[in-house]
Chain A
Amino acid sequence: MTSNIESIETVEHDVIVVGAGGAGLRAAIEVSAQGLSVGLVCKSLLGKAHTVMAEGGVAAALANVDQEDGWETHFRDTMNGGKKLNNWRMAQLHAQEAPDRVKELERWGAVFDRTKDGKILQRAFGGHKWKRLCHVGDRTGLEMIRTLQDRGVHQGIKVYMECTITKLLKDGDKIAGALGYYREDGRLILFKTKAVVLASGGVGKIYSITSNSWEYTADGQSLAYEAGAELIDMEFVQFHPTGMVWPPGVRGLLVTEGVRGEGGLLTNNKGERFMFNYLPESTRHEFAADVKEAKEWIDAAIAGQKTTARRPPELSTRDNVARAIYTEVKEGRGSPHGGVFLDISYQDSDRVRKKLPSMYHQFKELADVDITAGPMEVGPTCHYIMGGIKVDADTAQTRVPGIFAAGEVAGGMHGANRLGGNSLSDLVVFGRRAGLGAAEYAKGLKEMPKFKDSDVQAAIEELDAPLNRTEGPNPYDLHKKMNEIMSAYVGIFREASEMKIGVEKVAELKKEIAKVRVGGGKKFNPGWHLCRDLKNLIVAAEAVAVSALSREESRGAHSRLDFPNLEDEKWGHVNSTLSKDGDKMKLEHKPLASMPADLKKLFETK
C-alpha cells in the first residue's frame, strides 16, 4: 500500500520544536526571537504538558531569603546531588543562568510568591543548602507554562496541537524534516525543517506506579535514538519519595516535596522520625542533629527569621528519602496502606492551606484526608529520568547535525540524581540554549535539506500497520505487561539475577509490540495512539534495563542490592552510553569530561 506523498499537508519552518512544556515553549520563544520561523508540535492541547504538574518551585540562587547563596553553591549542591556524574558544564551553566531565567519569567508576567520586602520568595528543598526555590504556592509549573504559553502565542509561534511526531527524516547525516499525524483524525502532516529541538519529556509510563501523565512515553528519546543520537545514564530513574499510596486509583500521584520544605515530618508506624537514621555520612553535618534542632529550623523558617539551626533530615536528597521509605515499609514499620506518614497538620491550618493549596484539595477530594488535621500516607513513585539524549552543554546539540534536545528528554545535567526544583530551572535555561543553538545552526544552512520519499513511505506504513492487521495483541495489555516487568525487575532496588530476567522479558515484549493490533478507525483512537507510544516506550524500557544491569555499583537513584557501594574508581567517571547499531542497542561506557581546576576547588570549601 502506498500513500500519495504529494497529497500530505506539508509545512516548512526553520526550526521545529517537539513538545510544548517549559523547555519546548522556551526554545520556541528563543527561535522566534532570533527572527526565524518556528513550529511547535505537541501531543496534547497547548498548556497541558507535564510541566503543569510541577509543584514545588524553580531553583535559582537569587539569594532573596538566604543571602549566603550564590551560583557556586547551587552548582556544588547539584553536582553532589548527582553524585558527580553530571555533565559539569551543564550544571555550571544551569546554576549561573537560572536566576536570569526566573527574573525573565517575572518580566513576562509570572506572579511568584513574595518576601515581606516584596522580592521573589524562596523555600527550602531537598539537597539545596539554602532556601532557593522560587514558587507560587504548590502550582509553580502551571504558572510557568501559562506565562511561556502567553508569551509564545503573542510572539507568532505556530502551534500544532494534538499532533504526534512519529519519525525524524534526514538528508544524509543531517536533519531534514519530520512526519506527524493529528490525533483528531489521523491525517498526516510533513514538516520540512532545518533543525529540530526535542523537548518531549520523560519515560515514566514504563512503570506502573508513576507520577507521570500518559504523554511520558519516551518519544524524543526514541526518535533521537532511531535517528542516530546517543542516550546516556538511562539507569538513573528517579523515584520520588512521596507519592500518594491510597486510594488505588491515585497511587503514585505526586505529593510535592514542598510539604517537607515547609516543615513536613516523616514518621513510621512507631512514630519515629526515621530519616535521622538514613543520612549519608558525607552530608550528615549539613542536617539537624536531633528533633530539637530540626524544630528550631522549622520555627525560624515559618517566622521568616535567620537561624543557626541546620535543616531537618526530611530534606535529604530524593534518592535517599525514597530508599529510606522503601526500607521502613519493607521492614514492617509502614503505614496501613503500605507507605509512611507525612505530617504537616501540626502547623496552623490556614498557613498549610495557603502554602499547599493543591495538596490540601488533592487529599481532601481524592483520599478523604484533611492534611491540616492529620498525616498523609506516602510512598515512592516513578517521577523523572536523569538520563536521556546526549547533548553538547552550550548548544544542546546531539551528535546528529540539526537535532537538539532540552529538558527531561536530555541527559547529563542531573547526573545520578536530580534535586527538586532543578527541573523547572533546567527547562528554561536549556530550553533557551537549545532554541538559540538550533536558530544559529539553521541560519548557517544555505538551503532546506531534503528527505527521501521512501523514508516517508516506510514511516507511514509502520504507523498504519496496527490498524491493518487482522490479529495481534491488544496495546493496553502490552502496556500493562511492560509496567509489570519494569516494576518487578528494574525497580527501586536492583540486582543482577532479576535484571537479567527483566532484559529477557523486555526483548520478548519487543517482539509482541511489533505485532500489536487495534480496531477502530483513525478518528481520535487512543488505542491506535498507544500502539505508536509502545514503540517508543520499549526503547526506553530496554535502555533502562540494559544500562542498569551494566552499572555494578550503587550511585544516586541507581541502587544495587548486589553492589551496595559507590565504586568511584571504576564507575565514577563513565556514562552508560547507548546507540543504535543495526537492530541492536549498543552499550558503551564512555568517560565523562573532567572538571576544570577552578570548579574542582569549590568542593574543597565547606
Chain B
Amino acid sequence: MSESHSRSKEATLKVYRGDGAQGQFETYKVPMEAGMVVLDAIHYIQANYAPDLAVRWNCKAAKCGSCSAEVNGHPSLMCKTRMDHFEDGEEIVVQPMKTFPLIKDLVTDVSWNYRVNEKIKPFSPDESDTKEWVIYQEDIERVQEFRKCIECFLCQDVCHVLRDHEKKDGNEQFMGPRFLVRTAGLEMHPKDTADRLDYLKNEGHIGYCNITKCCSEVCPEEIHITDNAIIPLKERVVDEYYDPLAKVFKNMFGGGKNK
C-alpha cells in the first residue's frame, strides 16, 4: 500500500502479543472504514495477519461488556471506541486490562470477579409476602441505574485499590466498584430484607475506597458509581457502626429499604 495515498485511510495499531510469562507489542497496519471501531481493527488483524490473536468479544454493541481493554492507556470497550477519534497517523496502542492476570494477548483472567459476586448475600424478599407486588417507578429508578451494569469490569481495572495495591486476595480483600454497585442494587431494592452492612465493612472493605471517582469516569453505562452507589453505602455503614443516633434516621434514606 502506498504511503501517500493511504495515509488517512490506514491506521497503525500496536497490539500486545504474549502471555503472563513474556510478550511484546506487535505493529499492524489496518485499512480504515467509516465509523470503524477498535474491535473492527482487531478483527481485521485476526482475519488477515494473526488468526491466533486472542480477544474476548460477544455482542459488538456495548451490551455484553466482554471486549474490555486499555486503548492508549484508557480502560475502554473496544466495540465503542471509534477509530476516527484518534489523530491521523496516531499510533493506537491496545493492551489487556492490567489489574487481572493475563491469559494471552488481550484476554485476562477475570474469574476473581465471579468469586467476589458469589459472596454477596442474594436478593432476599419476604417469602411470606405472596400478594402481587406493588412497586412504584420512582422507588426503583436508582436500582435500575445500578442494574444497567454490563460487567465489563473496567471500573475494577481502573480502581487503584485493586490495580496498584492489589487488594484482591487474603484478609484485606476489596470487593471493588462493580460489586459495590451490585450490593447497592440489592440494598436499595424496595422488597429486599437482607442486611449486607457487616459484609461491606468487614469483608468487602468498603472503607478502602477513597472516592477518587476513577470508576465512574470509565463506566460505559454512565452509572454514577461513586455518588449514587458507594457514598450512600458508606454512609449506611458509618451510621450502623459509628453513629448510633443516625441509625434512627437511616430508614429515610435510599428508597424505602427496611421500612
Contact = CB atoms under 8 A, between A and B. Distances in A.
A341 interface: no
A338 interface: no
Interface in A81-122: 103, 106-109, 111, 113-114, 116-119
B80 A53 contact: no
Nearest to A215: B58
Interface residues of B, number: 56
Contacts of B151: 47
B59 to A, nearest CB: 5
Interface stretch (B4-12, B44-52, B155-163, B166-174): B44-52
A42 B222 CA distance: 28
A112 to B, nearest CB: 9
Given A150-B123, A366-B35, A526-B52, A111 B61 contact: no
B209 interface: no
B74 interface: no
B59 A213 contact: yes
A111 B144 contact: yes
Nearest to A251: B35
Interface string B225-239: 000000000000000
B110 interface: yes
Q: Which of A215, A254, A524, A525 has the most chain B CB atoms closer than 10 A to its own CB?
A: A524
Contact of B66 (A48, A142, A154): A48
Specify the main secondary structure of chain B where it touches its partner. Answer: loop
Nearest to B137: A114
A108 B186 CA distance: 11
Contacts of B51: 474-476, 518-520, 525-527, 530
Interface string B61-77: 11111100000000000
A405 to B, nearest CB: 22
A150 B54 contact: no
Interface string A63-93: 0000000000000000000000000000000
B66 A525 contact: no
Contact of A214 (B57, B103, B114): B57
Contacts of A136: 144, 147
A217 B111 CA distance: 25
Contacts of A108: 123
A247 B40 CA distance: 12
A476 B52 CA distance: 11
Given A114-B137, A247-B36, A249-B35, A527 B52 contact: yes
Interface string B124-168: 010000001111110010011001101100000000000000000
A376 to B, nearest CB: 14
Interface string A129-166: 00000001101001100100011011000000100000
A589 B52 CA distance: 43
Contacts of A44: 56, 58, 64, 66
A365 interface: yes
B123 A52 contact: no
Contacts of A46: 114
A365 B137 contact: no
Contacts of B214: none
A184 B103 contact: yes
A526 B46 contact: yes
Interface string A356-368: 0110011001110
B80 A365 contact: yes
A524 B33 contact: no
A600 interface: no
Nearest to A479: B47
Given A114-B137, A118-B136, A213-B64, A45 B122 contact: no
A506 to B, nearest CB: 21
A362 B62 contact: yes
A596 interface: no
Contact of A358 (B63, B134, B140): B63
A253 interface: yes
B100 to A, nearest CB: 12
Contacts of B110: 45
B107 A524 contact: yes
B93 interface: no
A280 interface: no
Contacts of A253: 60-61
B147 A143 contact: yes
B35 A107 contact: no
A525 B63 contact: no
A308 B132 CA distance: 29
B54 A53 contact: no
B187 interface: no
A357 B63 CA distance: 12
B63 A247 contact: no
Interface in A544-563: none
Contacts of A214: 57-58
B217 interface: no
B52 A247 contact: no
Given A142-B63, A213-B64, A365-B62, A109 B33 contact: no
Contacts of A520: 51-52
Contacts of B48: 476
A374 interface: no
A215 B63 CA distance: 15
A121 B222 CA distance: 24
Q: Which of B48, B58, B105 has the most chain A CB atoms closer than 10 A to its own CB?
A: B58
B118 interface: yes
A516 to B, nearest CB: 11
Interface string A45-57: 1111110110000
A396 B36 CA distance: 42
Nearest to B125: A107
Interface in A476-531: 476-477, 480, 518-521, 523-528, 530
A147 B122 CA distance: 10
B35 A248 contact: yes
A36 interface: no
A384 interface: no
A52 B133 contact: no
B258 to A, nearest CB: 17
B18 to A, nearest CB: 11
Q: Which of B60, B118, B125 has the most chain A CB atoms closer than 10 A to its own CB?
A: B60
Contacts of B61: 53, 250, 253-254, 362
25 contacts: A44-B64, A45-B66, A46-B114, A47-B151, A53-B61, A111-B189, A113-B144, A114-B136, A142-B150, A146-B147, A154-B118, A184-B109, A213-B57, A247-B36, A249-B33, A357-B148, A362-B62, A366-B82, A475-B51, A518-B51, A518-B52, A523-B19, A527-B51, A527-B52, A528-B52
In the A-B complex, the 10 residue pairs with the smallest Cβ-Cβ separation, listed nearest first, are: A247-B35, A527-B51, A520-B52, A109-B123, A118-B134, A524-B54, A476-B47, A525-B52, A154-B122, A114-B137
Given A525-B52, A526-B54, 4 more contacts: A111-B143, A153-B114, A365-B62, A526-B52
